[in-house]
Chains A and B, each alone.
Chain A
């Protein structure tokens, strides 16, 4: 019997085309994910596309997104009998429950596993494709395919399938099955939000209960290096094992529930289906059958029928109302809406939190969170109910009556569209209210209803309408609800894929609108036009789809495509006027869009832009070492036109020939295409003008002799025209212009314009990126790390802007005047030499002023962003204090911080000028006393660059970057410590450690030791901070500062040869005792990782009322190479051991001291006065430890 059901079901599946379509989906995605370079979850890098990590990731993600397939196979297997009412026949026969349920279930399981085996086949086939990148493919290891398939995919299928099956069997409604899928997904999202938003380092529980396994896998592998990712499968232990066990268990429970609770009788099943109403109805009937029927004189009231546009309107309203109630009377609708509300409110709670930093939940953040997090739900409801409405009459078998109603074809369609629109509008409004509510709950009461309304009703909702129109169109044209659903889902998967393949023209990507960023400084600013036209365009296209849908709508009982086509023609003819309107609207808006994005502005895909960079490198890299004069002075007049997002400028460089040979040719790179003219104070001719590839050369009639100087005059400009399809230059805004030296000519070949992503370089057939030269390289020792075409420069500038704005450049303000409605500012750096690294800014600022000794402190900020000005001032003062005392005098008499729009998200230190993005500090809000004060840190960091970067500049060799970034990190940490104390720093350093370990896991080239760092921010920021701070802990803050002071004194304003890290290391070693010299070798010159662990801890109370703690530890030390291969080292290290009271979050030190650890295990005894709670080795994670969480252990009383 079991066999009969099993085989019957299986046969049905094999005959169904959908099974094969389902198989193709995972097959193709896995196939392309492996065979192409940047499709799918594994992006560019060194991780093998068919390595164990990549395969597990691909299988996990595709299985997660393929959950809908699991639902689509398991759900209907049991529902079919109920939809087709065969259950009445079936259940009157003596069949066993086990056979019936088991047969269906087992056949579904086999089918689904078969469908998902497409992953394995696709991934294998992909590896053999001739176009695949050989360097990123490992030889085929079957186990790498099989293990993830079994441990991830098959288990997911088992438990999800069983759950879906159980729910389908018990509710006998497919919507509930899908709803359950949504709920499981929401569970994952909630876990994800809690992980991302709170940035908790403790992720055990979210991992174990992650229904999709994505958080779990990310957590388990977060510190894996490339080598590990390419050789290791996830081990059956820890979170992975528990997660799999939990969900397998859930699967078994679901099966048990299905078996126990499923009623095996037609009567029960039938009565359940028609609910209690049926019973009432039977009673009514019994009562009424006694009444005598009226026999004669039956006369129905006469009515008048009116048809016309008024009636059509009324019909439309009535139909819309009916359909609206069809949706809102559905339990699943409410369930999805409720899940959405809960989810949105949870997310809203975290709106002001990113990466562990609290900011005020300002409206643009809140609205982004609530619309972003609810978007999926609205899409689901839109697409799901588009299907339900489209098939509603057929599903309830009302279609014959419905279709013979005197209702216009279009009115029926429009009523569906309107009902869905109404539903989405209501939901969008709910989302809006959730946003307001979340802000209020977070104590933020500056409600900007206007901005909410614009974002929700003008941007968010129209996109949902596009989804609805697409879904309605697909549901109409295709004959199958599920196929249409699958295509809608596929569509959403496809769009990001197309982007990755360079199809990023939003004129062709349905429903894609131009990217935009709201900023408090600018509102929607210059994005408004692009948004307006792209939304109009796609809504019009959606309208056209609607017209097609109306034409092809089913009416009557004709099913064949041919007959529907026949019916469609006359309808289409009738709808021509409507179609024309949409065509005109779409044509106009598309035309305007095209004109702006393709004619006024050149349309280039990311790939085309990369290709230009590559071609620049191919053509002109040969000039990299060409002898060129150096810039020693900059004088520029710049006119900023904020209302046009444009500027123009003119000025000159003073160029000096510091080589020993005459120079007769000057080369200029123009990477921003802003240089309009270059000429010299002597006769010359232009010998090359390669506008397409950013390069020009000029032949001097009379060569520039050694040590001779000359002027190079230039005109520069950038003019914004119309709008672009993304890639709007962030530098130019109506309020908050901020551009820098990149818009001015660069003398010679600019190496920093080269593509650095290894995969992109391979695509462009470029050799691997040139390694930076080793410290001491004779050529590069004379090249400035930051601006290779310059030396220290003098700087003078006159900058003008609109009358209502303030314009700013480095230098002291000399004059300030207004002419012809424009404001002019003259800035001069005087004789103080600066790095040739300047910026121009303009905005409608408010200014806060203060003073530290003779240094003027100014903050230029957006009115309304007053939250943290005092703290910024405080950080500046404390920083100036600390840096002057410990390093050297400040070289300027002013320090200015300027707010700029959040189109970019960084703060950057220009000479005495720090542009600071509006989103990252100005709205910071510390909620708890131990929240990390990023604003304070960043301000101190940027200020520290006035020393490390603007006094000390390294040569362009390996390691030099750490002398600016790592030292700025260290300096800022010390300033933080003064303000917030050591414990807060510890917390911050845990995050630094986490980021460092993750950073090295994502390394695409090879990880260098700190003093040989090239282009690895995770090394120069995170590792640099950790290591410098640890060194101060080992040898003392004073000694480290002394080393820094000595080094700075020796190299301050050095110009050729510039200092490098050899001198820096020597300066450190000079202050380091002999027995700790290994610390410098390990931390600065090598990649050393520890695995320290507290094994057991216990205490006894001594007779003197003290507590004797016994701590058993293990300690291991390993050395890693650039790829992450580790070799064990013998340990002979000084490491903290300690005993604490208090909680894990708030440890109170009872005894903390360093011990020489010379063996891999050791036992320590410490006597403390207070009752201890924790003990451990390296408890504060001063050392780089891949398992930082196990260093501390709870001590138990023995």
Chain B
């Protein structure tokens, strides 16, 4: 169990990246969603010992992650949002090196885990190639492999599926979900789909604040029967609806604009009931908290 209490961080420029965030994260996949700049990465960097919070604490099964950076790093698997590689090293050499760094001192075990990961991430055939020649997807898979070395108890993956094609994304999510049953896995993303598919729990943060925390299905249930949709034809019609109802989202369906709104009762006026999904939850909470 990872408990985050009152975590806050303000950058030297005055940007308040996190404001008093508290979260309880049980083992399993935990999705962190929010728009760009919401504070996801800041939160994750704090958990990955790369940033010092101004206030607050984070403990994993009693271990204070902020105070005990060395211990934290031993049980951590971290995949940053953006990372590069030593271009002239091969994947297998680099993973072996990183395995030593993670304290896997028995060479037999080291060999086994490195080979296992290379196979799981489908890098086996290119393991001896220089990392500098890897495509974006391959590099991302390498990043996943390094994060999973040494059976980490806390896995932090920041936007892991960005830049992956659908097949790769599938493969990655599979791997992650099968590993992430008994350990804490925090996955940040702005792709709501990822969370729906994988996570047993989730949180939405925006502007450094926690908007919602819960089980994805339950949060969807809370919206059941309160989401309505309507295809609009004119600008004037859209503006009228926006004035009258809290709009969750607007997107194109078959070339036509469809508005989804939140309403506890049927709004009538040609609105039809819609099946609430996680995206509705996400946008609903975002718009509700948008200051206006």
Q: Do A and B come from one complex?
A: yes
Q: State whether the Cβ of A284 lies closer than 8 Å to any Cβ in chain B.
A: yes
Minimum CB–CB distance from A310 to chain B (whole Å) comes to 7
Binds B, one of A471-479, A552-560, A1038-1046: A552-560
A-B contact pairs, 27 of them (CB 8 A): A274-B133, A277-B130, A277-B132, A277-B133, A277-B134, A280-B129, A281-B133, A281-B134, A281-B138, A294-B174, A298-B174, A298-B175, A304-B109, A305-B150, A307-B103, A322-B97, A326-B86, A396-B85, A398-B85, A401-B80, A403-B50, A405-B98, A406-B102, A407-B73, A556-B50, A556-B51, A563-B52
Q: State whether the Cβ of B70 lies closer than 8 Å to any Cβ in chain A.
A: yes
Residue of A274, A319, A322, A400 with most partner-chain B CB within 10 A: A400
- Judging by beta carbons under 8 Å apart, are B112 and A566 in contact? no
Instruction: Report B110-131 residues with CB < 8 Å from chain A CB.
Output: 110, 112-113, 116-117, 120, 122, 125-126, 129-130
Chain B residues lying within 8 Å of A408, measured Cβ to Cβ, are 70
Instruction: Report B27-58 residues with CB < 8 Å from chain A CB.
Output: 45, 48-52
C-beta contact mask, A277-300 vs B, less than 8 Å → 1, else 0?
110111011001101011111111
Q: Would A404 and B50 be within 8 Å (CB), given that A276-B133, A277-B132, A280-B133 are in contact?
A: yes
- Judging by beta carbons under 8 Å apart, are A406 and B135 in contact? no
A397 and B110 CA atoms in complex are apart in Å by 25
- Judging by beta carbons under 8 Å apart, are B100 and A556 in contact? no
Q: Would A295 and B174 be within 8 Å (CB), given that A315-B101, A397-B83 are in contact?
A: yes
Additional pairs, 18, CB under 8 Å, beyond known A305-B103, A325-B88? A274-B133, A275-B133, A276-B133, A285-B137, A297-B178, A298-B120, A303-B104, A303-B113, A303-B150, A305-B150, A306-B103, A306-B106, A311-B100, A318-B100, A400-B80, A405-B98, A556-B49, A556-B50
Residue on A nearest B77 in the bound complex, by CB:
A404
Chain B residues lying within 8 Å of A566, measured Cβ to Cβ, are 52
- Judging by beta carbons under 8 Å apart, are A304 and B106 in contact? yes
Minimum CB–CB distance from B160 to chain A (whole Å) comes to 13
C-beta contact mask, B135-168 vs A, less than 8 Å → 1, else 0?
1011000010010111100000000000001010
- Judging by beta carbons under 8 Å apart, are A285 and B135 in contact? yes
A1057 and B210 CA atoms in complex are apart in Å by 109
Q: Would A322 and B51 be within 8 Å (CB), given that A274-B133, A276-B133 are in contact?
A: no
A282 and B134 CA atoms in complex are apart in Å by 8
Q: State whether the Cβ of B291 lies closer than 8 Å to any Cβ in chain A.
A: no
Q: State whether the Cβ of B179 lies closer than 8 Å to any Cβ in chain A.
A: yes
Q: State whether the Cβ of A619 lies closer than 8 Å to any Cβ in chain B.
A: no
Q: Would A304 and B83 be within 8 Å (CB), given that A276-B133, A281-B138 are in contact?
A: no
- Judging by beta carbons under 8 Å apart, are B105 and A306 in contact? yes
- Judging by beta carbons under 8 Å apart, are A405 and B102 in contact? yes
Chain A residues lying within 8 Å of B52, measured Cβ to Cβ, are 556, 558, 563, 566-567
Instruction: Report A301-330 residues with CB < 8 Å from chain B CB.
Output: 301-307, 310-311, 314-315, 318-319, 321-322, 325-326, 329
Minimum CB–CB distance from A1049 to chain B (whole Å) comes to 84
A316 and B165 CA atoms in complex are apart in Å by 38
Instruction: Report A1080-1109 residues with CB < 8 Å from chain B CB.
Output: none
A288 and B141 CA atoms in complex are apart in Å by 13
C-beta contact mask, B62-74 vs A, less than 8 Å → 1, else 0?
0000000010011
Partner of A556, one of B45, B79, B106, B120: B45
Q: State whether the Cβ of B270 lies closer than 8 Å to any Cβ in chain A.
A: no
- Judging by beta carbons under 8 Å apart, are A288 and B122 in contact? yes
- Judging by beta carbons under 8 Å apart, are A307 and B74 in contact? yes
Q: State whether the Cβ of B262 lies closer than 8 Å to any Cβ in chain A.
A: no
Q: State whether the Cβ of B14 lies closer than 8 Å to any Cβ in chain A.
A: no
A303 and B110 CA atoms in complex are apart in Å by 8
Q: How large is the interface on A (under 10, 10 to 19, 20 to 34, 35 or more residues)?
A: 35 or more
Q: State whether the Cβ of B89 lies closer than 8 Å to any Cβ in chain A.
A: yes
Minimum CB–CB distance from A418 to chain B (whole Å) comes to 15
Minimum CB–CB distance from A1099 to chain B (whole Å) comes to 67
Q: Would A293 and B137 be within 8 Å (CB), given that A401-B80, A401-B146, A404-B76 are in contact?
A: no
- Judging by beta carbons under 8 Å apart, are B167 and A289 in contact? yes
A306 and B99 CA atoms in complex are apart in Å by 11
- Judging by beta carbons under 8 Å apart, are A404 and B105 in contact? no
Chain B residues lying within 8 Å of A321, measured Cβ to Cβ, are 97
Residue of B102, B110, B113 with most partner-chain A CB within 10 A: B102
Partner of B73, one of A281, A284, A314, A406: A406
Q: Would A396 and B135 be within 8 Å (CB), given that A295-B174, A300-B116 are in contact?
A: no
Chain B residues lying within 8 Å of A326, measured Cβ to Cβ, are 86, 88
Chain A residues lying within 8 Å of B100, measured Cβ to Cβ, are 311, 314-315, 318
- Judging by beta carbons under 8 Å apart, are B74 and A406 in contact? yes
A555 and B48 CA atoms in complex are apart in Å by 11
| Residues of B bordering A, CB below 8 Å | 12, 45, 48-52, 70, 73-74, 76, 78-80, 82-89, 97-106, 109-110, 112-113, 116-117, 120, 122, 125-126, 129-130, 132-135, 137-138, 143, 146, 148-151, 165, 167, 170-171, 174-175, 178-179
Residue on A nearest B13 in the bound complex, by CB:
A560
Minimum CB–CB distance from B204 to chain A (whole Å) comes to 24
- Judging by beta carbons under 8 Å apart, are B126 and A284 in contact? yes
A293 and B172 CA atoms in complex are apart in Å by 10
Residue on B nearest A566 in the bound complex, by CB:
B52
- Judging by beta carbons under 8 Å apart, are B101 and A398 in contact? no
A557 and B17 CA atoms in complex are apart in Å by 14
- Judging by beta carbons under 8 Å apart, are B105 and A314 in contact? yes
C-beta contact mask, A406-441 vs B, less than 8 Å → 1, else 0?
111000000000000000000000000000000000
A303 and B75 CA atoms in complex are apart in Å by 12
Minimum CB–CB distance from A273 to chain B (whole Å) comes to 9
Partner of A305, one of B104, B130, B165: B104
- Judging by beta carbons under 8 Å apart, are B113 and A400 in contact? no
Partner of A274, one of B51, B101, B132, B149: B132
Chain A residues lying within 8 Å of B148, measured Cβ to Cβ, are 300
Minimum CB–CB distance from A371 to chain B (whole Å) comes to 31
- Judging by beta carbons under 8 Å apart, are A311 and B103 in contact? yes
A307 and B82 CA atoms in complex are apart in Å by 28
- Judging by beta carbons under 8 Å apart, are B133 and A278 in contact? yes
6 shortest interchain CB distances as A-B pairs: A277-B133, A397-B84, A556-B50, A400-B80, A406-B73, A298-B178
Minimum CB–CB distance from B83 to chain A (whole Å) comes to 6
Q: Would A293 and B174 be within 8 Å (CB), given that A311-B103, A400-B48 are in contact?
A: yes
Partner of A407, one of B85, B101, B150: B101
Residue on B nearest A563 in the bound complex, by CB:
B52
Q: Would A298 and B97 be within 8 Å (CB), given that A281-B129, A556-B50, A556-B51 are in contact?
A: no
Residue on B nearest A321 in the bound complex, by CB:
B97
Chain B residues lying within 8 Å of A280, measured Cβ to Cβ, are 129, 133
Minimum CB–CB distance from B99 to chain A (whole Å) comes to 8
Chain A residues lying within 8 Å of B73, measured Cβ to Cβ, are 404-407
Residue on B nearest A300 in the bound complex, by CB:
B116
- Judging by beta carbons under 8 Å apart, are B116 and A301 in contact? yes
A566 and B100 CA atoms in complex are apart in Å by 29
A366 and B134 CA atoms in complex are apart in Å by 48
Minimum CB–CB distance from A1032 to chain B (whole Å) comes to 71
Chain B residues lying within 8 Å of A556, measured Cβ to Cβ, are 45, 49-52
Partner of B70, one of A294, A319, A406: A406
A439 and B133 CA atoms in complex are apart in Å by 45
A54 and B149 CA atoms in complex are apart in Å by 65
- Judging by beta carbons under 8 Å apart, are A301 and B133 in contact? no
- Judging by beta carbons under 8 Å apart, are A303 and B109 in contact? yes
Residue on B nearest A402 in the bound complex, by CB:
B101
Chain A residues lying within 8 Å of B76, measured Cβ to Cβ, are 404, 406
Minimum CB–CB distance from B23 to chain A (whole Å) comes to 20
